[in-house]
Amino acid sequence: MVELEWSRAIELPREARSASKPSELRIAWVHRAPEDQVLALYRAAFAAGELVPSPWWLRALAEEKLPSREAGFRVEDRIDTLLSRRPGWEFVPWAADGESGYWEFMPSERGRAGHLTPTTVLNTARHSGWIDVLPAHSVSTPEPIAVQGLAGLRARLGEFEAVR
């Protein structure tokens, strides 16, 4: 039953698929319920022994790497503020179940290099910079590039945007 309860906890209504920024996706139970209840249900679902679809910030919070859910929201919002001001970047709300969406650099898709998948910025719990970049690619998915926070992303955007 805990798996069903978790599934409902991360479920987003269909209209969320038209979100244009991460804050518009924060309407599921995991975004609104008291943080301690969210963590308790997540840990119960995770205890069943399988990976649980969940937002990156919740995985980081459960591992005590992130101080709060709000801190994760701030990371997402700051990335969105940076990228939404730059031409070519689009927020994609339809990420994997439970995830927070990601940003794609559209000029890197089917440009001069002919890549089928654009450069992608996404949040991660795998390191404390919270940002990974997947370079534009066509065949196999490359290893993500760990970026050290918003300052690191800002510093490397020219490099990431150069692939067209």
Among 115-119, 155-159, 160-164, the least confident range: 160-164
Which of helix, strand or coil describes residue 59? Answer: helix
Q: What share of the chain is helix, strand, coil (3-state, %, to 5)?
A: 45, 15, 40
Arithmetic mean of pLDDT over the chain:
92
User: pLDDT per residue over 19-73, tens digit each?
Assistant: 999 999 999 999 999 999 999 999 999 887 778 899 999 999 999 999 999 999 9
- Which pair of structure tokens corresponds to residue 111? 């440009």
- pLDDT given at position 59: 95
Q: Does 1 score more than 80 pLDDT? A: no
Tell me the pTM: 0.92
Question: What does the block give as tokens for 15?
Answer: 């209209």
Average pLDDT over residues 127-143: 94
The larger pLDDT score, comparing residue 116 to residue 1, is at 116
pLDDT of residue 95: 78
Half-sphere exposure for 65 (CA within 13 Å, toward CB): 14
Residues 2 and 42: their CA atoms lie apart, in Å, by 9
